[in-house]
Amino acid sequence: MVVFTHFVPLAITSSLLTLLPVAQASSASFERRSLTATPSDVNGKTFSYIVVGGGTAGLTVAVRLSEDATNTVVVLEAGDAHLNEPQILVPFEVGSVYGNPDYDWLYQSVPQTHAGGAVVNLTRGKVLGGSSALNAMLWDRSAEFEYNNIAQLGNSGWDWSGLLPYFKKPENFTHPDPAFAQKWNLTFDDATRGHGGPIQTTFPNAIPDAELPTEPAALSLGLNIISDPMSGTTKGAWRSSCSIDPVHRTRSYSVNAYFTPNQGRSNLVVLTGAHVTKINWASNSTSAGLTASGVSFITNGTTYTVGASREVILSASSIGSPQVLELSGVGSKSLLSKIGINSTIDLPGVGENMQEHIYSTVSYAVKSGVETLDPLLSNQTLLAQQEALFGATPATGDLGYTASGITFLGLSTLFNNTVSDALLASLNSQIASTNRTKGQVQQQSIQVQTVRSADSSVVEVLVEGIHIGPDTADPNTGYVTFLTLLQQPFSRGSTHVPSANALDHPNIDPNYFSIDFDLTVLSTVAKYVRTTLSKTVPYANIIAEEQFPGSSVKTDDDWKAYVKSNFNSQGHTTGTCSMMPQAKGGVVDANLKVYGTTNVRVVDLSIMPQQFSGHPQALVYTIAEKGADIIKNANK
């Protein structure tokens, strides 16, 4: 696999540290109580709730549960706190800590059978805030019918209307500057957005002119322009909002939005550097199921235990949550027995049904004079100017950049009816001959209907006015890069522990391209960028020549080979603790409770049984907000 510069790694200059607005970084008078917790403050004690993983969902659910002063809540996070760091807070720094073991788990896939044996690096946050500390900050929602599909799989209450209050609850949307909004056609619908929630959202304040053609090009191609994708219609072109503070232009994430303002609560303890190794089960478990009495965790090589009087909540991500379940004996009995883990609950769905979003890039050199962000990477004078702008209040300038130019395309844009019908026929026959659970049969049948329907998207094209890709850029040239992102993957993978050693990474097998449809769609959209999108005015007016992959890629087979050796994970993994009926291969019920337990829930993205088009962080906060209400109601 070729090395990707996912987004924009930039060597931090020390001056930026001092320029970062202190007020934003730690608003409350910094009591530090929770974050100076040591293992001995937790070891042997009992809390009402234990939350495993202080990431996106974990801090959200913990803060909500600790609103009730009669509850005590402990969060155990394997990573360190990393508060107030520019690498996390400055939007343009996205990517600077990927591959850094102080922030990233450094998970890797097993060699991918259908991608030439490639081992894919899977960047995932190992830090307080989890992947919300590392993500690219796009803030959006998927199409209405996609949530209704989740409800249809046996999950009452998880449809669009049931989720709407929880979509809004995390968000505090701030309007963009009117003149900037007019230039960029930044449109929005206040009625569908949240106002007053902890996560600050707005539009980016900096967009290079190379991204200006997004909507005009879509109009030329006869695509819809979407005024606000948060309203439940997403197919077409739109400008994405982002999880960024509108004044300081810093990342808004689960730490500074949910945790910091509430860290003074005496009933909320967050212990960092605490790697949870297993759930401990009470010996009084009944026919109603196993009861968790607490968990064990390792800090600096020493094992500790902590008790839960009410519930254990797993928010350790789509990789971490199934891992902790398996280490606790919950999973496929035959799989666990082979590696010396005694089965407690035979639940074969654990770690199965993994679904990813993956992407490739196609980049172009633009004509001279077209504004891009590339000079920031080579011109130190410019960078210093931009740091000063960013450090002022309000912050301005290019360091507040996040990508925002999005176009969602359906099958009919990529294929004519003849080809499309043949593709779906071969998809149907290939999935029918694949070994699937009842739940997968049902969800893929829904998914086939979905990709057939006129209002559904199969790919996203995200445009960035900067060079991104595995190749080397010319420092004196500006670029525009199209990221082509697969939205409705049919491949299903798995993640399972390789041994009883809790510190071993799981065997993560996304099984990329195991279903041919995925490769056909992803290679066709990359080709479409060359043959159509880049040739459409106004893109055609600003582009000088194709940079990557370039002229060596010619035929459809070349495009397929190119994609297979140049793709990466978007970090949107779902499905590994799927919310579905147990008989269909589910792991949790619609109340997020793990089958066979009385008091263990999963609250993170792993519960979603089916992938969505779009970017999932807003949904993760929604899952956590809804999950917190479910837990509060169950423990009244």
Ligand X SMILES: *[C@@H]1O[C@H](CO)[C@@H](O)[C@H](O)[C@H]1NC(C)=O
Ligand Y SMILES: Cc1cc2nc3c(=O)[nH]c(=O)nc-3n(C[C@H](O)[C@H](O)[C@H](O)COP(=O)(O)OP(=O)(O)OC[C@H]3O[C@@H](n4cnc5c(N)ncnc54)[C@H](O)[C@@H]3O)c2cc1C
- Told to check if 241 binds ligand Y by CB under 6 A, we report no
Spell 381-415 as b/e; 16+ CB within 10 A means b: eebeebbebbbeeebbbbbbbbbbbbbbbbbebbb
> Could you tell me which residues come within 8 angstroms of residue 430 by beta carbon, excluding any fewer than 6 positions away?
515, 516, 517
Residues binding ligand Y: what is the number (CB under 6 A)? 39
The tokens describing 574, both together, are: 């779902």
Question: Closest distance between ligand Y and the C-beta of residue 605, in Å?
Answer: 4
- Told to check if 268 binds ligand Y by CB under 6 A, we report no
Q: Which does 56 bind (CB under 5 to 8 A by kind): ligand X, ligand Y, none?
A: ligand Y
Residues that bind ligand X (CB under 6 A): 1, 3, 38-39, 99, 106, 121, 172, 174, 185, 187, 196, 215-216, 219, 225, 227, 246, 273, 282, 284, 291, 293, 299-300, 309, 342, 348, 379, 381-382, 385, 416, 418-419, 435
Q: Pairing between strand 199-201 and 171-173?
A: parallel
Residues 301-320 within binding reach of ligand Y (CB under 6 A):
315-317, 320
Q: Which does 604 bind (CB under 5 to 8 A by kind): ligand X, ligand Y, none?
A: ligand Y
The tokens describing 35, both together, are: 């974050």
Question: Closest distance between ligand X and the C-beta of residue 293, in Å?
Answer: 4
Considering the complex, state which of residue 162 and residue 273 has its C-beta at the smaller distance from ligand X.
273
Q: Which does 38 bind (CB under 5 to 8 A by kind): ligand X, ligand Y, none?
A: ligand X
Annotation says 275 is catalytic:
no
- Told to check if 134 binds ligand Y by CB under 6 A, we report yes
Question: Closest distance between ligand X and the C-beta of residue 256, in Å?
Answer: 11
Considering the complex, state which of residue 265 and residue 310 has its C-beta at the smaller distance from ligand X.
310
Residue 616 labelled as part of a binding site: yes
Q: CA-to-CA distance for 601 and 475, rounded, in angstroms?
A: 50
- Told to check if 571 binds ligand Y by CB under 6 A, we report yes
Considering the complex, state which of residue 135 and residue 443 has its C-beta at the smaller distance from ligand Y.
135
Cβ contact 484:359 at 8 Å:
yes
Question: Closest distance between ligand Y and the C-beta of residue 122, in Å?
Answer: 8
Considering the complex, state which of residue 22 and residue 384 has its C-beta at the smaller distance from ligand X.
384
Q: CA-to-CA distance for 516 and 520, rounded, in angstroms?
A: 6
> Could you tell me which residues come within 8 angstroms of residue 222 by beta carbon, excluding any fewer than 6 positions away?
none
Annotation says 572 is catalytic:
yes
Q: Which does 3 bind (CB under 5 to 8 A by kind): ligand Y, ligand X, none?
A: ligand X
> Could you tell me which residues come within 8 angstroms of residue 542 by beta carbon, excluding any fewer than 6 positions away?
209, 210, 213, 366, 367, 370, 480
Question: Closest distance between ligand Y and the C-beta of residue 226, in Å?
Answer: 17
Cβ contact 236:140 at 8 Å:
no
- Told to check if 329 binds ligand Y by CB under 6 A, we report no
Q: What mask, x for binding ligand Y by CB under 6 A, covers residues 98 to 127?
A: -------------------------xxxx-
The tokens describing 482, both together, are: 């199209």
Exposed (0-12), middle (13-18) or buried (19+): which is 331, by Cβ within 10 Å? buried
- Told to check if 141 binds ligand Y by CB under 6 A, we report no
Cβ contact 278:503 at 8 Å:
no
Question: Closest distance between ligand Y and the C-beta of residue 82, in Å?
Answer: 11
Q: CA-to-CA distance for 191 and 184, rounded, in angstroms?
A: 21
Catalytic residue, candidates 6, 275, 467, 572: 572
Binding residue (CB under 6 A) for ligand Y from 168, 169, 275, 626: 275
Question: Closest distance between ligand Y and the C-beta of residue 206, in Å?
Answer: 16
Candidate ranges 211-219, 530-538, 612-620, 625-633; the one touching ligand Y (CB under 6 A): 612-620
Binding residue (CB under 6 A) for ligand Y from 324, 525, 577, 608: 324
DSSP run (H or E) holding 561: helix 556-565
- Told to check if 237 binds ligand Y by CB under 6 A, we report no
Q: Which does 317 bind (CB under 5 to 8 A by kind): ligand X, ligand Y, none?
A: ligand Y
Residue-by-residue DSSP string for 417-451:
HHHHHHHHHHHHHHHHTS---HHHHHHHHHHHHHH
Q: CA-to-CA distance for 41 and 38, rounded, in angstroms?
A: 5
Question: Closest distance between ligand X and the C-beta of residue 246, in Å?
Answer: 6
Residue nearest ligand X, CB atom distance:
227
Q: CA-to-CA distance for 434 and 430, rounded, in angstroms?
A: 7
- Told to check if 135 binds ligand Y by CB under 6 A, we report yes
Q: Which does 171 bind (CB under 5 to 8 A by kind): ligand Y, ligand X, none?
A: none
Residue 442 labelled as part of a binding site: no
Residue 208 labelled as part of a binding site: no
449 backbone dihedrals φ, ψ, rounded to 5°: -60, -40
Question: Closest distance between ligand X and the C-beta of residue 289, in Å?
Answer: 11
Residue 448 labelled as part of a binding site: no
SS (H, E, C) 38-90: CHHHHCCCEEEEEEECCCHHHHHHHHHHCCCCCCCEEEEECCECCCCCHHHHC
Residue carrying structure tokens 């007019």: 182
Residue carrying structure tokens 């049919």: 490
Q: What mask, x for binding ligand Y by CB under 6 A, covers residues 41 to 60?
A: -----------xxxxxxx--
Residue nearest ligand Y, CB atom distance:
55
Q: CA-to-CA distance for 362 and 467, rounded, in angstroms?
A: 10
Binding residue (CB under 6 A) for ligand Y from 86, 91, 130, 349: 130
- Told to check if 153 binds ligand Y by CB under 6 A, we report no
DSSP run (H or E) holding 181: helix 178-184
Among the listed residues 395, 542, 369, the one whose alpha carbon sits nearest the alpha carbon of residue 463: 542
Exposed (0-12), middle (13-18) or buried (19+): which is 301, by Cβ within 10 Å? exposed
Active-site residue list:
572, 615
Q: Which residues bind ligand Y (CB under 6 A)?
A: 52-58, 76-79, 123-126, 130-132, 134-138, 275-276, 315-317, 320, 324, 571-572, 604-605, 615-618, 620
Annotated binding site for FAD: 127, 276, 616-617
